Structure formats: structure tokens, C-alpha cells
Amino acid sequence: MTGSTAHEARTVAAKAVLKRQSIETPSWAYGNSGTRFKVFAQAGVPRTPREKLDDAAQVHAFTGAAPTVALHIPWDRVEGGPEGYAKLAAYAEERGVKLGAVNSNVFQDDDYKLGSVTNPDPAVRRKAVGHLLECVDIMDATGSRDLKLWFSDGTNYPGQDDLRDRQDRLAEALRTVYARLGDDQRMVLEYKLFEPAFYATDVPDWGTSYAHCLKLGEKAQVCVDTGHHAPGTNIEFIVAFLLREGRLGAFDFNSRFYADDDLMVGAADPFQLFRILYEVRRGGGLEADSGIAFMLDQCHNIEAKIPAIIRSVMNVQEATAKALLIDAEALAAAQREGDVLAANGVLMDAYNTDVRPLLEEVREELGLDPDPMGAYRRSGWQERIVKDRVGGVQAGWGA
Amino acid sequence: MTGSTAHEARTVAAKAVLKRQSIETPSWAYGNSGTRFKVFAQAGVPRTPREKLDDAAQVHAFTGAAPTVALHIPWDRVEGGPEGYAKLAAYAEERGVKLGAVNSNVFQDDDYKLGSVTNPDPAVRRKAVGHLLECVDIMDATGSRDLKLWFSDGTNYPGQDDLRDRQDRLAEALRTVYARLGDDQRMVLEYKLFEPAFYATDVPDWGTSYAHCLKLGEKAQVCVDTGHHAPGTNIEFIVAFLLREGRLGAFDFNSRFYADDDLMVGAADPFQLFRILYEVRRGGGLEADSGIAFMLDQCHNIEAKIPAIIRSVMNVQEATAKALLIDAEALAAAQREGDVLAANGVLMDAYNTDVRPLLEEVREELGLDPDPMGAYRRSGWQERIVKDRVGGVQAGWGA
Amino acid sequence: MTGSTAHEARTVAAKAVLKRQSIETPSWAYGNSGTRFKVFAQAGVPRTPREKLDDAAQVHAFTGAAPTVALHIPWDRVEGGPEGYAKLAAYAEERGVKLGAVNSNVFQDDDYKLGSVTNPDPAVRRKAVGHLLECVDIMDATGSRDLKLWFSDGTNYPGQDDLRDRQDRLAEALRTVYARLGDDQRMVLEYKLFEPAFYATDVPDWGTSYAHCLKLGEKAQVCVDTGHHAPGTNIEFIVAFLLREGRLGAFDFNSRFYADDDLMVGAADPFQLFRILYEVRRGGGLEADSGIAFMLDQCHNIEAKIPAIIRSVMNVQEATAKALLIDAEALAAAQREGDVLAANGVLMDAYNTDVRPLLEEVREELGLDPDPMGAYRRSGWQERIVKDRVGGVQAGWGA
Amino acid sequence: MTGSTAHEARTVAAKAVLKRQSIETPSWAYGNSGTRFKVFAQAGVPRTPREKLDDAAQVHAFTGAAPTVALHIPWDRVEGGPEGYAKLAAYAEERGVKLGAVNSNVFQDDDYKLGSVTNPDPAVRRKAVGHLLECVDIMDATGSRDLKLWFSDGTNYPGQDDLRDRQDRLAEALRTVYARLGDDQRMVLEYKLFEPAFYATDVPDWGTSYAHCLKLGEKAQVCVDTGHHAPGTNIEFIVAFLLREGRLGAFDFNSRFYADDDLMVGAADPFQLFRILYEVRRGGGLEADSGIAFMLDQCHNIEAKIPAIIRSVMNVQEATAKALLIDAEALAAAQREGDVLAANGVLMDAYNTDVRPLLEEVREELGLDPDPMGAYRRSGWQERIVKDRVGGVQAGWGA
């Protein structure tokens, strides 16, 4: 193949992958969020799970790449038991989206002050496990595959609690929940360096999550949140390692300059996002059956929410497109020869390519407007929700 | 002098300093606080500025070292104009404490979403400056010397606003407020690397604060919050440098393992606190007329508030005592000779000393219980406020 | 103007700036370098200052953008006193380049173990100052404008030396050297967080450098090395601030994932480089008379040196081109309106543009090959130096 | 038991542990070391492995706690094959110490520029594995139990090599070496975030080391170097976790303010060292048969080497003593009750205790001088080696 034919072949292959790429958006990103200093409310924000789904459907309508929506329980709790959730799922499908992962929340009740599943008090632990089991019940009703577990559990002061005992308690809780999972269900265990725990977090890094997953079994997988690492951590290495081990279950995408800033994915370090997606590709994670859940987990504290989520989906698409354009053969050849500059050059050549025209083509071939941001703006949806959603309690980080 | 006579002399001198050491406690540390995930309310928390002063008076009663209380406006706003604040000051004095620095708050109104004094909208800037001037009015009424300025202002995304224009706006606001200060009033300008701004903070480091202070004049001083630096920053260097320049106005003490965790001072790295206090001593900052305000600024999210503040005061006292016990002559001699290990050894000898007996003596000589934590526990105050402070709205990070 | 006419106008203006852009390369980057673990020697590396200039001339020949070469004394010391340096300058000009900044080196003599200009021993300080004055003598001979000062001075252990005394000694040394500068000469004072000092570095941050420069006068300017900051530091903020203050004298460009890794500029975080260059543009630093020295300071430990430097020059050019393509009017408008996403979008639109075709045009219009990497590879220079430069002592980080 | 009886019991128990505590010193710490900028040679430094053992024997003679010495191959290579090493071991025993772990070195040959066991070139990998096998041969001769593996392997630039292939190569090399281990031999696999690799290190964190060890078998254990983590990492958590998993094989003790500074252990953050040793105690690591190797790995670039190592041994002893004095029952009770301040207070009470008198007693009961630093100084050894060790080539980081 000549160079340009090969490039064309890569472009064709890339388009096929991009057309089926699916990025899950989180229901809570449509609601209000903020920092400990202040939550700035925005006009038009949803008041109910259904309104969140309405907004998520807009994101999918304009990008064609966001067909599922993650729930957060209890933030998205609905009445009516299993049927209530089945109805919610049906509502979503009417809008053109499906319900995705169920996110458990064991950090906002008063008795979780010193932890949930790792709390020294067995009664609190029981309550927390109960909530997790309830989440699996909901998954049964919604047809969701993944239970996403993030524990804020940890300690603020040395000595506050016993680090080892807390691991024992965590392991026990995970075993109980794992045993409850159906054949087609999984748990994805998130890790986070710190916040809200400020001394020791009980699942602080990928190694801890991985070790627990190993003991649980195949249905336990690691979730990588791109904002949850110590400064300097090479995230794409972790991605490559977990893929090699068959233990990468999900991503929570977002970006950060400092800590868990939860900015739009790709906003702080687009080159890092590209490197991550290259390792995903390299490890087979862009294959149709990879099983990896690509989710957003972001806070749009000061920017308009729906457009920010559209932009985030586009950022993931652009990074994916660049990763797909890397000339794998040329890269491997330069690597084999130990030609540092040439190998780096192959990678950078793809990164430096403007892939926006390619993505416009992809969208047009899918029957979409090539410009999702503009199309959303022109659609009048924003004006409509600002006008319509008056009164009631805006959704936010609370039940 | 023999070694032991010299040690005795240092001990005597240390006790004199410790007896007049004064650590200001912040009114807001007595109220509820938390993270963006959850505020865990505590029983007995004050509902009014007066109740905060009641609690602060307890801290002073048991430590003898916390005679002043910093206010936060609008959190501590009272009715009645200047007279209202004068009454509040009188109330404090009746309880045995005085009002200290006034902390401005220009980060919790809806129109501060994109900044206060650096906001692109001149109307918002005017409002923010108006608030700062109101704070000086309150200082006139309370007799406070220091206006503490912390701006959450900054941006979350590259390009969001013009970094340089924001400096111009900041400089203008500071000039206006500076001009309003009375002869015996100062402003202390705090800096912070990030949070709640996640891309660029307008006063992110000591250099920025220092540069603005220089242009304003002698009444503008830098405030060092020990939790506001990038990882790896040598804070005691900054302290030494600012003291050499005559520009260290105040401390906001707290501690952190990660970011601005706002843990009890001395809890995360007691050796760092000791090194900081050694540089304070070295630079004359422990002299009676140093003008430095030693304040706490902490969040007791999960621990009992009043005892945590007592512990914090004691931690500062212990670090100060150790810093005072350093044999300055032996240190200087080893430094002159370039004896790295000996010089480090002199410092570590003081650090490794158990100064708690010395502080017990200090307390006893002041007529206090040598064990402030125990004395508070035995006093019954905690049980009393839990019982009495029922109903109403607990104080927290809100007006 | 229509959008496309405006874009065309920006392109024309960008090309004009890019054609005169000048990036200084450091003589030492052509020699061997490594880590404390190992220096991997490369075939063909220069043995003499003249051979370094030969290589630097190649970089300029193929990029058209690297017309000057920084010296490091004593690494580039030549015999013959002032005349020797004048001859070196003449040699450079014959090859098509000029000598640039003189970098002082006061960190490799045995008596600098505990510091140079801040050493507790006055004799060592005198020696160090003597070296700095010698560097100014060399500048007189070479016609160099800038004396670049980087001090490795600092301490490894708390207590090792007096932080404040060291500032006094530093100030005195700087005053002496400043007084020796000619009318058209400057000093640029570099800062660095750590390494080789591991506790306290005497000029650790921009604030320290800035404060010393302020006291010295207009001819003292801050040098920003892009690898010398604490994790999370917003470098473009510092750049914007120093430009606003008229105190940004020079850049040492390189990149890093961790510490002072000294990788090729733009290799670790090309988006950061773009943001820095945008602030340079915004602050007038790309104007012809800005006075800012744009230098590289890198270590090519494992990659081929000359191509790595060519790539680095190209990376700075690409970042500059993108910064110049930002639609300043649209950006300002979005900022004024507080439209966070639109303002960020204007910036990202330029960043996401592939500017390589534009730079190919620039090169062709300058009579250069549009592909500097390929042209160098095809030139045969690398094979020639590998064959010719046999025997002798390869240049490295030593006299 | 009364409080004071319980305290006495803890003291007795602590003394028993302290009397048998054993800290291995590294042969290379007695030689010259430095940074990439400069190695400052010290007078009296050993020229041969035997002279290093002579110095190590001094450290043990004065502390009673450093009975073994780690070797580094090839830095400590001796002639004579297995017999040569057996003689070296005999020499050590004559001096009162034993040979400890064997440290492999696959980072200083020219062909390791792009890696050793993960190098893309199979010939280089074979060579590297050959060296590791040679180290096991040496262990057979010296009777050493542990092969310490630290790989500098990694990449400097994105794309330079394939992250996943490198893991495959690493796994293969480890399997080969593991298969060669005798029944009583182990491998301990060190991890390090960065340096000398500046983009991706092949064993960057404990998770990677742990995952490889798991697959290898029981004789593969993780080695924790206290200076090898990202900023903010909670090292004691890792220690607790690995102990719970039965996979903590060894410590490389040192301290750091920034990166892998290799300062004296306990010098930068004595509270962290205490917390680590508390988790060691909590996890059974201070039991006589724990199997954990407590080693130093430090660089004494500017301080006198032997006294620095004595000080380091003492720092570990002091941290251990404090960890042993923690009232475990009171701690557990406070933790159970969720009394954050009380639990933290129990820990801090031990930390704030001056344990130097206790260690003086321990030494006296062992027949040692209570003051190892003073005793060494008075011994005349330093003067003797400075006088005797003239000529030859001082040992350093080279063969």
C-alpha cells in the first residue's frame, strides 16, 4: 500500500469505529453542581429524573454518540418500585436513549460521616450494603449492566480508624454485593486519591481496586476516573496495564488541572486524553465487544450544562479519531528500531491532525448536523427549558 | 554559660513568649462545614454570631492563648449598623475575648459566578468593592485592625477570561479599598493556588500578593494560608522571605495532606509547622510588636469543633515552644562551619523534645488547667450547648 | 470584515511574526547529557565549542529560526582571553549564527558543595562572584546582551543554613554583578523549585526572582524555565503577570511530565505551550522589540540531538502559529459577555487547527525546505559528524 | 492494669523489639554520590567493597542495629567467582556484619539506553536477564536471601515504545529469574514513579509490582522505597495493604521533600516515618519472623556519610519506638467509638513522646554507648580513613 492509500484505509476504519462509538452521560451533570464554597444555580436545570433524560436525549440527538444515561441513586430515585424504574427506562427509550450504569451513593446520609461500607459501626455498614443491594434491584428493573461503586470512605486524621480493618470491612461488603449480581451484571469499582477523605481513602488507587476485583471474580472490574490520580500519574499506563489484565471495566471521563476538578473532558490536557485513547485502541478497547463503559463524570459549575456535555462528547470523539489515525505499522517499526524521535513523530503526526472535518463527515453520514454545538443552539431547546422549568426544586447533588 | 544554664535561659525566654502568644480563632470554624459532597451537621453548633463568640470564649478560657475572634461578613452580619457591631464587640469583651480581623466574602452571591473584583462585568465589580468597603465600616465599629481579603476569583477554562485584564481590575479594586483604610488599619491579601477556580486563580501565589501589596503601600501585607500552596512548596522559605521584606501580615493556619484540606493545624505535618515557626522566630515574628496576626482557618467536618480548635491552639503552642528551644548559637556555629549534620542536629534536638510539660507549666503559671482538652471535657460546656441549642438554623458557610 | 477575510488577515500577520521569530539554542544541548544514573554518550557529539556552533548552524540552516546560540561558561571556555571569545563570535557568524546569552556556572567546583553566592564561606562567595564578573567580561567580547543566572544554591536539610542570611548574601552578589553590567547588558535571573537542592532552594520561584530584580533595577529580569515549577503551577499566569510588570526577560523552554525532566519543548504538554505563547502574544511578547529571549534548555539523553533540537524549534513555531491564529476580537467579545464555552471555544479552535501547512509556507517563502526534519536527515550531516568526530573528549556537562 | 503499668508494659515490650531490630545499610551509601549536576567527592570514601564493609561495620558497632550490608552488582563485583564472594562474606563476618540483599544493576551499560529487560532489542534483554541470573549466583555464594530488582526501564516520550509489549517482556524476564531462585531465596520488586524515565516507567507503582508478584508466586514480594511515590501518596496505606496481602517484602528507607531526593530517612517528614512504622507494627511487620527486609537506600551528597547513616539508623529506631509506644487498646477503643479526636490523640501522644532516653537505655543494656553519633566522632575512625584512604579510585555509582 502506498502511504496515502494506507492513510485512506485508516480513515475508513476510523469512521466505522467513530460511528458506533458510545459515550454515556451522567444524569447528575444536567443538574446543578458546585464547590464547597457555592453552588451557582442555572436557569432551566431539570427538576426530575425525566427532565434529566429529556436533556440527555438532546445530547444524543445532536451528537449521535451518547445513547445511554447513567443514574445516581438516590438522586434519581423514582416512586413505584421496580415498575417505577421500568417506566423510567421506557420513558428514556421513547426519547431515544437508554438507561446505563447505576451509581450508588453512600456518602450523603448523616450516619455516613465516618464511612459507609468501612464504617466502624456495623449497623451503618449494613445500611450501606443494603443500599448497594437496592441498586442491583434497580438494575434488574432498568436492565442496566453496571453497578458503579465509588466510596467516599476514608479518614481525615492519622489514627482515626484502623486502615486494615477498613479493608476487611470493604472486602466483606463487596463480596456480599458481588454475590447478588446477575449473570449479565458487573460491578465497576472506582478509586480516588482523596476528597472528601483527607488522610487515607479506602480505595485510593488502581492497585487497591484491582486487588479487590481479582478476589471477587470476573464480574468485578476497575473504573478509571481521569481526575482521581496523584499529580504526575501516567494514566494511560494504568489503562494499558488494566487492559492487558482484562480488568478495565469503565471510564469516568473529565479533566483537571489540580485535583478532582471535574472539568469537561479534554479541556485541561487534550494530549493526555489522546494518549489514553491510543492505549484504549492498542489494548482492544475500541472493539465493538470490549465491554468497556465510556462515561462522562463532570461538573459544569459555571458553564451551560447541555452544550458543555455536547462539547465533552465531541472532545472524546476527536481524541478517538486522532488515536485511530495513528499509523500503527510505522509506529511499531520505529519502536522496533529504537528510533525515539521517529516513533514519537508518528504519534504526534496523528495528534497534530485536525480531525474536525473527519468528524463532520461522520456526522453527515449518520444524518446529523455536522456542527452539534451550533445545531443545539439553533434548536431552541435551551430557551424552552429556561421558560418551562420554573418552580419546583432544581436537581443537584442531593436526593 | 554552661550548656544546661543556656538551656534554662532558653526555657525561661520561651515561657515568656508562650505566655503572651495569641492565636486568633475564626468564628466560622465553630459552625458547620463540609465538602462539596456533604456537610455533616453537629449537635450544639452555634446559630448566631453571639453563640460563636460564646464558644470562642471557651477556647480562650481553657488555653489562655486565643483572645481574639475573626469575623466573616456576611456570615457574621448583625443588625443595627455600626452600633450593632459595637454591641457585638462589647458582647465579646464581656465573654473575655475581642473581635479580630474582618474577613470579606465575595464568593457566595449568584452574580459572583465569574468573579467578584475581577469580574468582566463592571457592575459586579462595583458591588464587590462595595462589600469590601462595608467591611472597613464594620472594622471601624469593631475596632478591628485587619481586613482579610481572599478572592475566589479566577477561571475554570483557558480563554474564559483575560488573565491580564483581571489583574488590572484586581489592582483597581485593591487601590480603592486601600484608600479607605484608616491609619491603624491594614489589609492582608491571601493567595491560593486553586479551588474554587480550577484553571487560573487571580491571586494564586505569594508573589502575586506581594507584588500587589508593594504597589499599594505599607498597610498592605501578605497573608500566608498554610494549605494554599502547590505540592512541594517550601512554606517556611516564603515566611522567611516575606519577613525579610517586611511584608508578612498574617497566617491562616491549618494543615493538609493533599490540597486545601483545612485539617487541624499540625495534624498532617507537625515538623513543617515547627519549621515555619522557627522561621517566624528567626525573622522576629514572635516579638511582641511584630504585627503578625496568627489565625486559624480550619474546617472541622467530622471532629468535634471546640475541642478541635483547642487542640489546634495547643499544636501551634507546641511548635512554637520547640522553635523557641532551638539553640540559636549552636545552630549558627554549625551553619558557619558548614557542618550539615550538626546544624540539622541542633534543629532536630529541639523538635524531638517533648514540650508538653513545659506548656503545662506555662498554663499553670497563668492560672489555667494544665490540660485544656480534659478541662474542657470536664467543664460540661459541650453537653450544655447540645441541650440548649435546639431549633433555629445552625451556622455554616452561608449568610 | 467577513470571517474568512479576518482569518486571512490573521494568517498574513501570523506569517510575518513567524518569519522573524528567533529561538536561541543552547550549546550544551549538542553535547552529552544524562541523569544521575547514567550519561549515554552519542556518536558524533561535538568535542569543542566550535563543533557545537557547527551543529547549531545546522539547526538554523534548516529551520531559519535559531539564529543565536547560548554559551555556558566554563563549558564553552576558550583560550585567548577576550580575543579568543571574539574569534569564537566571528566563527559563529561565518557559520551563519551569532553568540547569544552567556550562562554562568557556579555549581560544579568542589567548593560549591554548600552553595556559591550564598555559601556561608565568604571566600567561596567571592570566587563565585568573580566567575559571574568574568562572564560579563566574556559578554563584552562576544557582544552578548544577556547574562543568565541560575544558582543551584540551596540546602538539603532543615537547619543546614540560615535561609535569611542566604538571601542577604544573594542580594549582595547580585548587586555587585548588576553594577558591572554595561548599558546594553542585562541579567536574567532564573528560578527553580528544587534539584540539586532538596530542602530549600535560594531562588525557588518567580516571586523570589522578581523581588530581587525589582531592587536591582530595569536591567534585571526574570527568566522562566518551563520545567522549574511545582506540580499544578499555572505557568502562563506567571508569564502574563511578569509581562504586565515589564519583568519577563527570558524563557528557557523544555517540557516535563514530573520534575525538571528537560524533555523537548512541547513534547509533554503541547497545549500548555500553546497557552504560554498565547499569553506571550497577549502581553506584547511577540512584538519585534519585546526584548524577551526565547531560549531552549533541554537534555537529549536518549534521542538524537540535532533532530531533537530541530523538532523543538518547530514545536515552538507551531505553538506560536496557533497562538497567533486565535481570533482576538471574538475572544474578547465572548469574555466580555461571560460566555465561558464560547470563549474557551475560540481558543480551542485555534489550538485544534493543523498549522503545519502554514509553517511549510513560511519556510518556502524564506527559501527553506518545508520539512526541516527530512531535510536535515537527507543532508548527510549526521553521518559526517559520526565519521569525523572520532577521538578527543565529547562535550558534556563538564568543563 | 493501671495506665502507668500498661505504659510500663509497652515500654518493656518496645525495648525487646528495639533490641533485635535490624536495619540493612547499602554498600553504595558509603561511596560518593550526587546529582546530575555534580558529584562532590568526600575524603576518606572507600575504594573497594571491603572498605565499604569496614565502614558499615562501624555503623553496626555504634548502633547495634545494622548487622547486614546490601551489595550492588556490578559496583561491588569482586574477582574470583563464587569463591571471591564467599571470601567477601567471610570478610564481612570478621568485621561483625553479614552480607544482605543483592541489588541488580541493569541501568549503566550503554546498551541499556532504551531499557534492560523491557528493551525492544531481544539481545539486550537476554544480556539483562543474564545479569540478573548472575546476581542469583552471587546470592548462592554470599548466602543472601533477597534479590532486589529495580528497573530504570521506561520511556521518555509518548510513542517511543509500546507500553504493553514492555509489560510482556518484563513478565517474561521475571519468570525466568524467578524460576532460578533457590528455596530460601526471594525477589523483591521495587517500583518508582519516574527518573530516569520521564514519560512512562515500566514498574511505576505498587500496583504494577504487586500484580507481577502475584503471578510469579510467593517468593516474589513488593519493595517499598519511601521516595518513589507521586506527591500526596499515602505510603502507610500501601504498607498496610501489602502487609494484609502478605506481599510486603522490603523497605528502601530514605526521605524526600520533592522527588526521589534520597535524603536521610526521617529527615524530611519524621511523622510520616512514624505512621509507616505504626502500620508495620499493626500488620505484624515488627515480629521476629516477619520476613520484611528493612533497608536504607540513601545518597549522602553533601553530608558526612558514616554519621549520616548512623543518624538514619537512629531515626528508624526512634520512629519504631514511638510506634511501639502507641496504646493499642486505647486506640482501638476510640476508633470503635468513632471518637476522631481521641483516636488521633492516642497516636499523637506516642509521637510527641521523646523516646531518646528509652533508646539510650536500650543501647546501654546492649553494652553500647548511648550516644552513637558522639561515640563515632570520638572513635577517630573518620580521621583514620581520611588519612589512610589516599590514592586509588573512590567508590561511587559506577563499576
- By three-state DSSP, how is residue C298 classified? coil
Residues contacting B359, CB < 8 A, separation 6+: B18, B314, B317, B318, B321, B370
Of A270, A303, A341, the CB nearest to C308: A341
Confidence grade of residue C398 (pLDDT, cut at 50, 70, 90)? confident
- Compare CB distances from A231 to D230, D283, D344 and report the shortest one's residue: D230
The three cell numbers locating residue A243: 487492559
Distance from D20 to chain A by nearest Cα, in Å? 26
- In a mutational test of the B interface, the residue from A258, A265, A300 whose CB has the highest number of chain B CBs within 10 Å is A258
Main-chain dihedrals φ then ψ at residue C278, nearest 5 degrees: -65, -45
pLDDT exceeds 70 at position C1: no
pLDDT confidence of residue A67: 98
Average pLDDT over residues C164-192: 98
> Which of A260, A344, A351 should be substituted to probe chain C, the one whose Cβ sees the most C Cβ atoms within 10 Å?
A344
- H/E element, B101: strand B98-104
Chain A residues bordering chain C (beta-carbon distance below 8 Å): 231-232, 234, 257-258, 267, 269-271, 302-304, 307-308, 311, 318, 340-341, 344-345, 351-354, 356, 373
Contact residues on chain C for A234, CB-CB shorter than 8 A: 257
Residue showing cell 543472601: D144
Is the Cα torsion angle A353, A356, A362, A365 positive or negative in sign? negative
Query: Is residue D2 predicted with pLDDT exceeding 80?
Result: no
CA D76, distance to chain mean position in Å, is 17
Residue of D158, D275, D331 lying closest to A344 (CB–CB): D158
In order, the DSSP letters of C194-209 are SSS-SSEESS-SHHHH
Distance from CA of D329 to the nearest CA of C (A): 36
> Which chain B positions have a beta carbon within 8 Å of D351's beta carbon?
270
With a CB cutoff of 8 Å and minimum separation 6, the contacts of D306 are D30, D55, D58, D59, D376, D381, D382
Contact D253, D316 (CB under 8 A): yes
Give contacts of D41 with chain C, Cβ < 8 Å.
Answer: 110
Cross-chain CB nearest to D163 (options A162, A208, A279): A279
CB contact under 8 A, D207 and A205: yes
pLDDT of the residue at A40? 96
What distance in Å separates residue C282's CA from the closest CA in chain B? 8
Contacts of A199 in chain B (CB under 8 A): 257, 263, 268
Residue A318: closest C-alpha in chain C? C352
Are B198 and A261 an interchain contact pair (Cβ–Cβ within 8 Å)?
yes
A328 CA to centre of own chain:
27
Q: What is the pLDDT of residue C64?
A: 98
- Chains in contact with A via at least 3 Cβ–Cβ pairs below 8 Å: B, C, D
Contact between chains at D340 and B304 (C-beta distance less than 8 A): yes
For D276, the closest chain A residue by CA position comes to A158
Reported ipTM: the value is 0.98
Angle, CA of D27, D32 and D33, to the nearest 5°: 95
* Chain mean pLDDT for chain D: 97
The DSSP string of B127-152 is: HHHHHHHHHHHHHHHHT--EEEE---
Is B376 within 8 Å of B306 (Cβ atoms)?
Answer: yes
User: H or E element: which one contains C251?
Assistant: strand C248-253
Closest residue on chain D to B303 (Cα): D340
When pLDDT is averaged across residues D328-335 and rounded to a whole number, the result is: 98
Q: Which residue of A has its CA nearest to D162?
A: A335
Interface of C with D (CB under 8 A): 33-38, 40-41, 107-108, 110, 112-114, 152, 156-158, 193-196, 198-199, 231, 256-259, 261, 263-264, 267-268, 301-303, 397
Find the residue in A nearest to C264 (Cα). A341
- What is the residue type of D289? D
| Binary contact (D257, B232; C-beta < 8 A) | yes
Please report the pLDDT score of residue A317 as a whole number: 98
- Mean pLDDT for the stretch of residues D131-149: 98
Torsion of CA A40, A43, A48, A51, to 10 degrees: -130
Residues of A in contact with B107 (CB under 8 A): 37-38
Please provide residue C380's backbone torsions phi and psi, each rounded to the nearest 5 degrees: 85, 0
**3-state per-residue secondary structure call for chain A:** CCHHHHHHHHHHHHHHHHHHCCCEEEHHHHCCCECCCCECCCCCCCCCHHHHHHHHHHHHHHHCCCCEEEEEECCCCCCCHHHHHHHHHHHHHHHCCEEEEEEECCCCCHHHCCCCCCCCCHHHHHHHHHHHHHHHHHHHHHCCCEEEECCCCEECCCCCCCHHHHHHHHHHHHHHHHHHCCCCCEEEEECCCCCCCCCEECCCCHHHHHHHHHHHCCCEEEEEECCCCCCCCCHHHHHHHHHHHCCEEEEEECECCCCCCCECCCCCCHHHHHHHHHHHHHCCCCCCCCCCEEEECCCCCCCCHHHHHHHHHHHHHHHHHHHHHCCHHHHHHHHHHCCHHHHHHHHHHHHCCCCHHHHHHHHHHCCCCCCHHHHHHHHCHHHHHHHHCCCCCCCCCCC
D394 to chain B nearest CA, in Å?
22
Angle at B394 between CA B392 and CA B399, to 5 degrees: 100
Domain boundaries, chain A: 21-319
Instruction: Tell me the chain B residues in contact with residue A41 when contact means C-beta distances shorter than 8 Å.
Output: 110
Average pLDDT over residues C341-348: 98
Check residue C86 and give its pLDDT. Answer: 97
- Whether residues A304 and C270 touch (CB distance < 8 A) is answered with no
Taking an 8 Å cut-off on Cβ atoms, the answer to whether C340 and B160 are in contact is yes
**A352–C271: do the CB atoms touch at under 8 Å?**
no
What does residue B148 show for φ and ψ, rounded to 5 degrees?
Answer: -95, 125
pLDDT given for residue D1 in this prediction: 58
Rounded mean pLDDT, C263-292: 98
Instruction: Look at residue B328 and tell me whether its pLDDT is greater than 90.
Output: yes
Do B240 and C205 make contact, defined as CB atoms within 8 angstroms? no
| In the predicted structure, residue C262 carries a pLDDT above the cut 70 | yes
The whole-number pLDDT of residue D389 equals 98
Q: Which amino acid is at D286?
A: L
Exposed / middle / buried, residue B183 (Cβ in 10 Å: 0-12, 13-18, 19+) = exposed
CB contact under 8 A, A318 and C267: no
Look at B258 and A110 and tell me if their CB atoms are within 8 Å.
no
Neighbours of chain D (3+ CB pairs under 8 A): A, B, C
pLDDT, tens only, B349-389: 999 999 999 999 999 999 999 999 999 999 999 999 999 99
Residues of C in contact with A373 (CB under 8 A): 345
Q: How many CB atoms lie within 10 A of CB B223?
A: 28
Q: Closest Cα of chain B to D299: distance in Å? A: 14
What's the CA gap between B282 and D65, in Å, rounded?
37
Per-residue DSSP letter, C108: S
Q: DSSP string covering C29-49, please?
A: GGS--B-SS-B---TT--SSH
**Is the CB of residue B346 less than 8 Å from the CB of residue B6?**
no
Provide the pLDDT confidence category of residue D4 given band limits of 50, 70 and 90. confident
CB B334 within 8 Å of CB B83: no
Residues of C in contact with A307 (CB under 8 A): 341
> Domain C21-319 adopts which CATH fold?
TIM Barrel (3.20.20)
Residue in C156, C257, C302 closest to D114 by CB = C302
Minimal Cα distance from D340: which residue of B? B303
- Distance between A252 CA and the closest CA of chain B, angstroms: 17
How much is the pLDDT for B399?
59
Own/partner contacts of C344-348, CB < 8 Å, gap of 24 or more, are: C344/A267, C344/A303, C344/B157, C344/B158, C344/B159, C344/B160, C345/A311, C345/A373, C345/B159, C346/B159, C347/B158, C347/B159, C347/C278, C348/B158, C348/B159
Closest CA to A226 of A255, A188, A247: A255
The residue of chain C with its CA nearest to that of A353 is: C354
List CB contacts (< 8 A) between B271 and chain C: 158
Write out the DSSP string of D356-367.
Answer: HHHHHHHHHHTT
Model pLDDT, residue C143: 96
Q: Examine the pLDDT at D399 and tell me if it is beyond 70.
A: no
Task: Give the pLDDT of residue B317.
Answer: 98
Q: State what percent of residues in chain C have pLDDT above 90.
A: 98
Task: Compute mean pLDDT per 10 residues along chain A, 399 residues long, and list them.
Answer: 83 97 98 96 97 98 98 96 97 98 95 98 98 98 98 98 98 98 98 98 98 98 98 98 98 98 98 98 97 98 98 98 98 98 98 98 98 98 97 88
Q: How confident is the model at residue A1, as a pLDDT?
A: 58
How many CA atoms, within 13 angstroms, populate the side-chain half-sphere of residue B196?
26
Site of grid cell 479518614: A155
Write the residue in C208, C237, C348 that is nearest to B163 by C-beta.
C237
| pLDDT tens digits, C214-228 | 999 999 999 999 999
Distance from CA of B166 to the nearest CA of D (A): 31
User: Do D159 and A200 count as a contact with CB atoms less than 8 A apart?
Assistant: no
Segment (H or E) for D98: strand D98-104
Mutate to test the interface with B, among C111, C121, C156, C164 (most CBs of B within 10 A): C164
